[in-house]
């Protein structure tokens, strides 16, 4: 049992299925390494345990007593399987995305010998039990969980995760193809969200800090993997969407089976896991219509386009730069950053921001439309959130717009006027831009308060709690006159 061996005489779809089954049984195996191993198998080479890293012995080996969670297949899963097959057929034969699917995720397109090419999920039956999670080295205390990126050993993969209440040990199981964004939302929205888990946290669960977080099972994110392996390929929006759908199908198929088997007591067991793409007609679908990401173009010193990425996250992954590095170096005239991955000095241009001159004076707030893409009702009353231009990354939480203005040397009047408006405010000498947001009820209170400062005071009643009497404006007098005459 010292080596796992698969002798491949001819690359076939079944080859990929068998090898994927072995790799999926390896707990928290790095997605990139596992799929590289899968590629080796497809080429006819022998796979050994040394080649794919530290893995547990396949359940098929003699002496293994570990059992695995069975599949739970419902109509939603079958409809989604049909959808990704249609997406695959839609891709041109010479498409690099189709070639990638053939090499790395063709097993997702079949239900035989089992879904994902496996007779079961490959997830140990004990992995998501409370007893097992509580002693797992991956378990994290939410009271110390301030940075989402540090919760995952590979932020470019998809995850099945769990939250466990410290007192009652009630727990919740979920999945995500974007782990840092999902955990970020949990950390900053639990005080106001009506979602089942977060509502329980807020009411009877003792708050976010009274939970443990368990990033239990990792699966490939095929879009991120494609970008890593093919940094020179420019993905069109539909191809990008298709790869995201493959990732979603994979992780949610596992999630439904795990929830059905484990039956976590916070989850609504009567509601099936949903798939966002199952009813989409790929021929007429326009993913760019709902895409809020910023297109990132990268140029070399000769001014030639090195590559274009559909979002900041994809550029970050492909270039090997941090989120902050991309934001700091983008859109600076005659400025280049050394990218060690390619041994090149490159210029980063955010096409979305390039169309908006950050040096221009902020114009009248009355010409702007209300902000979209941010759930304002989830922001607690009494504070102001500042989001970076992706509308997902929280830049900071402030007691007021004035405190934000003071920290960033901005006119406080401007900050109040741009709250909840579709206008990013430039800060840090134009290198960053943020949207100021608050709960709509709180914003109205702020504007009312600011407005009243300009009212002319007539008198102060010292005998009635120092009530301030203002001079009625002409419009108010006219309105009262109409009401009286009517």
Same domain, 79 and 158: yes
Name the least confident of 97-106, 194-203, 245-254.
Answer: 194-203
CA atoms of 336 and 160, how far apart (whole Å) = 39
pLDDT per residue over 433-452, tens digit each?
A: 888 999 888 877 766 555 45
pLDDT of residue 54: 30
Residue 412: CB partners within 8 Å, gap ≥ 6?
401, 402, 405, 406
Same domain, 194 and 305: no
Residue 159's pLDDT band (cuts 50, 70, 90): very high
Top-confidence residue, 334 or 45: 334
pLDDT per residue over 52-63, tens digit each?
A: 233 332 343 434
Name the least confident of 117-131, 241-255, 353-367.
Answer: 353-367
What's the average model confidence in pLDDT over 33-46?
39
Does 176 have pLDDT greater than 70?
Answer: yes
pLDDT of residue 395: 86
What's the average model confidence in pLDDT over 113-137?
94
Name the least confident of 174-188, 201-215, 264-278.
Answer: 174-188
CA atoms of 26 and 37, how far apart (whole Å) = 13
Does 135 have pLDDT greater than 90?
Answer: yes
Same domain, 126 and 48: yes
Name the least confident of 60-64, 173-177, 323-327.
Answer: 60-64
Same domain, 232 and 287: yes
Q: Is 360 contained in some domain? A: no
Q: Is 336 contained in some domain? A: yes
Q: Which of 354, 373, 407 is the last residue of a domain?
A: 354
Structure tokens given for 140 = 């994290």
Structure tokens given for 458 = 């007539």
Same domain, 419 and 439: yes
Same domain, 228 and 317: no
pLDDT of residue 178: 87
Q: How many domains does the chain have?
A: 4
pLDDT of residue 426: 82
Whether the Cβ atoms of residue 48 and residue 74 lie closer than 8 Å to each other: no
CA atoms of 179 and 182, how far apart (whole Å) = 5
Whether the Cβ atoms of residue 87 and residue 244 lie closer than 8 Å to each other: no
Judge residue 300's burial from the number of C-beta atoms within 10 Å of its C-beta, 0-12 exposed, 13-18 middle, 19 or more buried.
middle
Domain containing 300 equals: 292-354
Does 24 have pLDDT greater than 70?
Answer: no
Q: Is 117 contained in some domain? A: yes
DSSP bridge pairs for 112: none
Does 32 have pLDDT greater than 70?
Answer: no
Residue 139's pLDDT band (cuts 50, 70, 90): very high
Whether the Cβ atoms of residue 107 and residue 14 lie closer than 8 Å to each other: no
pLDDT per residue over 87-115, tens digit each?
A: 999 999 999 999 999 999 999 998 888 89
Residue corresponding to tokens 């189709």: 98
Same domain, 299 and 267: no
Whether the Cβ atoms of residue 9 and residue 71 lie closer than 8 Å to each other: no
Same domain, 344 and 258: no
pLDDT of residue 60: 38
Structure tokens given for 327 = 């934001």
Same domain, 135 and 210: yes
Same domain, 112 and 256: yes
Does 313 have pLDDT greater than 60?
Answer: yes
Whether the Cβ atoms of residue 295 and residue 310 lie closer than 8 Å to each other: yes
Top-confidence residue, 192 or 473: 192
pLDDT of residue 358: 39
What's the average model confidence in pLDDT over 154-182?
94
Average pLDDT, the chain: 77
Q: Is 191 contained in some domain? A: yes
pLDDT of residue 183: 87
Q: What is the pTM of this model?
A: 0.54
pLDDT of residue 131: 96
CA atoms of 179 and 169, how far apart (whole Å) = 23
Name the least confident of 40-49, 208-217, 222-231.
Answer: 40-49
Does 31 have pLDDT greater than 70?
Answer: no
Top-confidence residue, 234 or 414: 234
pLDDT of residue 249: 97
Q: Is 49 contained in some domain? A: yes
pLDDT per residue over 65-88, tens digit each?
A: 789 999 999 999 999 999 999 999
Does 18 have pLDDT greater than 60?
Answer: no
Whether the Cβ atoms of residue 291 and residue 310 lie closer than 8 Å to each other: yes
Residue 461's pLDDT band (cuts 50, 70, 90): low
Same domain, 63 and 168: yes
What beta strand segments (E) does 351-437 contain? 384-388, 394-398, 425-427, 432-437
Q: Which of 326, 354, 382 is the last residue of a domain?
A: 354
Highest mean pLDDT range out of 137-141, 234-238, 326-330? 137-141
What's the average model confidence in pLDDT over 383-388?
91
pLDDT of residue 290: 45
Does 28 have pLDDT greater than 60?
Answer: no
Q: Is 359 contained in some domain? A: no
What's the average model confidence in pLDDT over 215-244?
92
Q: Which of 309, 325, 354 is the last residue of a domain?
A: 354
Q: Is 339 contained in some domain? A: yes
Same domain, 340 and 392: no
């Amino acid at each position: 049992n010292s080596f796992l061996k698969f002798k491949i005489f001819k690359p076939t779809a079944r080859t990929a299925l068998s090898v994927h089954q072995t790799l999926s049984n390896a707990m928290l195996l790095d997605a990139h390494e596992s799929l590289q191993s899968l590629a080796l198998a497809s080429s006819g080479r022998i796979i050994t345990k040394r080649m794919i890293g530290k893995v547990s012995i396949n359940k098929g080996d003699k002496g293994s007593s570990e059992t695995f969670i069975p599949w739970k297949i419902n109509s939603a899963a079958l409809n989604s399987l049909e959808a990704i097959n249609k997406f695959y057929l839609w891709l041109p034969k010479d498409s690099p995305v189709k070639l990638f699917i053939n090499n790395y995720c063709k097993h997702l397109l079949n239900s035989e010998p089992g879904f994902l090419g496996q007779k079961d999920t490959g997830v140990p039956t004990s992995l998501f039990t409370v007893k097992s999670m509580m002693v797992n080295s991956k378990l994290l205390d939410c009271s110390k969980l301030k940075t989402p990126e540090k919760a995952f050993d590979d932020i470019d993969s998809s995850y099945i995760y769990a939250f466990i209440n410290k007192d009652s040990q009630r727990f919740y199981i979920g999945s995500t193809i974007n782990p840092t964004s999902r955990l970020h939302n949990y950390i900053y929205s639990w005080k106001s969200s009506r979602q089942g888990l977060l509502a329980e946290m807020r009411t009877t669960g003792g708050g976010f800090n009274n939970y443990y977080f368990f990033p239990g099972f990792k699966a490939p994110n095929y879009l991120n993997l494609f970008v890593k392996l093919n940094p020179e390929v420019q993905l069109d929006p539909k191809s990008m969407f298709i790869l995201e759908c493959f990732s979603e199908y994979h992780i949610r198929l596992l999630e439904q089976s795990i929830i059905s088997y484990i039956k976590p007591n916070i989850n609504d067991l009567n509601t099936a896991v949903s798939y966002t793409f199952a009813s989409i007609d790929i021929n007429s679908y326009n993913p760019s219509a709902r895409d809020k990401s910023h297109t990132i173009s990268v140029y070399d010193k000769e001014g030639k386009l090195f590559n274009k990425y559909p979002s900041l996250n994809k550029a970050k992954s492909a270039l090997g730069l941090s989120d902050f590095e991309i934001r700091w170096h983008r859109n600076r005239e005659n400025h280049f950053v050394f990218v060690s991955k390619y041994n090149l000095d490159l210029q980063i241009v955010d096409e979305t921001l390039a169309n908006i001159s950050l040096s221009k004076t902020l114009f009248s707030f009355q010409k702007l439309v209300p902000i979209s893409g941010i759930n304002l009702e989830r922001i607690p009353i009494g504070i102001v959130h500042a989001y970076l231009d992706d509308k997902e990354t929280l830049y900071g939480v402030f007691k007021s717009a004035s405190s934000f203005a003071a920290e960033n040397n901005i006119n406080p009047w401007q900050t109040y006027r741009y709250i909840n408006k579709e206008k990013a405010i430039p800060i840090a000498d134009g290198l960053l831009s943020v949207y100021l947001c608050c709960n709509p009820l709180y914003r109205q209170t702020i504007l009312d308060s600011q407005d009243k400062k300009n009212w002319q005071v007539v008198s102060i009643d010292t005998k009635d709690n120092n009530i301030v009497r203002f001079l009625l404006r002409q419009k108010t007098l006219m309105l009262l006159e109409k009401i009286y005459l009517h």
